[in-house]
Amino acid sequence: DHTSTMVIAHWPGRKSEFIADHARTAEFTPALGRWITADRYFEITAHPYHQERLSANEFKPDFLNQSVASAGIDPISSVTRFHHLASNLRQAQALHILLDQVQALTRATNPSATASENSHSKNETFTEKANSEINELWEAIDKQIQQPSGLSKRDSEALANRVRNSANQGLQQMATLITAGSKGSDQGVMVVNTSLVSRRLHWSAPMGLVATESSQSLYAQLAVGSNVRSVLDMPPCGYLWSAQTDSAQAPRGRLPRSANLASADATLGNEFMEVQIDRTSGHLKALHVPKKRGNRLSSQLSMFDPRGAGTSEKPYSVMKATQVQMGQSSPIYGEVSATGGLWFEREKVAEFQIVYQLWRGSRVLYLNIDLDVKRKLLDDPWNSYLALRTAFASDSAVLMGTVGGSRQTLPRGRFISPSYIEIDEVDHRTTLLLGGLPYHRRYTERFLDSLLVVKGETTSSFRIGLGIDLPEPTIAAETFLEQPLKMEGVPGLPRSGAVNWFFVAEPPQALVQLQSTLLDPSGRVRGVRLLVREVAGKLTSSRIRCLRDVGEAYRSDHQGKNVGKLTVEQDAVLITLSANEQCLVDIIWQSNNSVA
């Protein structure tokens, strides 16, 4: 649909010996095009970019076939490892940027604390070293994923250790900074949330949280055996500090005194969902929402193989469970495990174990899958694979996902969506949180195959989430990959309180990430750069509140040039984003709050 065009300009005093030949050829054949003036050209040709509306359907990448054909190792999990590493590195990067900003604000509000220092060398040295290391890690991760073999397990583990060390260093610095001058002697735990939206975290640890100063943040807590399970509501882009206690003294929070989450009949349930596990096959038989009729979806493991049981009539294997049993069950946490095999009639082609996990206060059901493939898969990865097969009720459901950083309608057939797939059935939405699993196929109108194992794949463990009516799936998919940034043994109650935030993005339709610290020519902190993305696929106005008053803010290009001033209201920046727009925002602190 595009017109191939060559622009020819005549310069005074010069000529080309080939122009006459070209003009003469054009008189006999259009093979080399036809001559036309610039005015006439724009009169008779349309502007392609005014009519093009490219979607995910227009692009058919063939990365999976290429990876398998080149005998690459881990065609699927190498991509998954990249997404996990990138997510953890973004956390570490955001943590160091927060550290810069909090340290600069501390010096701005308490200049006498640093009067004896000759310069800001401590902060500058730490910032420079951390930024240099993080940039090296980004380059290493990008370089590895661009190789045909992808990101290997060995390289991934080495990079993961470096990312973890960088995050731990940032946590130590942050703990020292926010507890400086504290008169408390209690040892506690500090948890940091680098996302600009609030999060609900959960974990199991030997010690419980007291949370006397932050009781509203402790959603639920319960001693289970020798450990304490805690569910915590974190402020957006901030921290929470709490003293710790043994399991016997741990407060319960807002936890009901009954209603265990798992039952002996292989069911799970909390405030948001009721889940039934089939006792014969071990698959997720039904997922219901309280007070609403109808099954949301079902899912099972299946091998797709055109050989089937010797014929191509039934290319999908069948799940058969040898054991389905309730694991742990309490008012705060429940799990049901299923063990068995995948069968083509009398041939067992794989063994599986699925642990279904559900937490109090969570909209996400977690599926932890372990596989042992017995049958050798074929060279064609799209016609010989082992997948999680999801069935949903409506054949008119629309599948949405993130493609190239923007929210897109996903096509029927093969497609790539490593973050999430939202099943939109008009009156409700169910989301698969994929944790980096990239390759999928909508086999029919009501069935979705998410590929786990193809030829060359050595990874056997996978983690997938099923979300119920998530407020914003893109942000949920980002945080699904993250690990809690938690440090034990932090002394004293911070001077700024047990709970505090640094940045807030409202509403959550805008995904805001800390990009870098802005420094003046002398190396002092003067502002912060944010990456802002619209993730709901519609026009959105966002309000970004900051930890200090803002002098000015503007959209920026990647060279740091001002490309549009933004409205500022004291500590808030207002920005309007078109559908799927992303931009850099530079925020400069008010001059009377500049770092001394």
pLDDT at position 3, please?
72
CB 84 within 8 A of CB 436: yes
Cα–Cα distances in angstroms (integers) from residue 436 to residues 5, 160, 477, 493, in the given order: 41, 16, 9, 38
> 376-390: buried (b, 16+ CB within 10 Å) or exposed (e) per residue?
ebeeebbebbbbbbb
Low-confidence ranges of the chain (pLDDT < 70): 1-2, 46-57, 110-129, 147-150, 212-214, 257-258, 310-313, 592-596
Amino acid at 34: R
pLDDT at position 420, please?
94
- Residue 126: other Cβ atoms inside 10 A: 17
pLDDT at position 50, please?
57
> How far apart (Å, rounded) are the C-alpha atoms in residues 176 and 208?
22
> How far apart (Å, rounded) are the C-alpha atoms in residues 8 and 136?
45
pLDDT at position 445, please?
85
Residues 6 or more apart whose CB falls under 8 angstroms from that of 124 comprise: 523
pLDDT at position 595, please?
37
pLDDT at position 274, please?
94
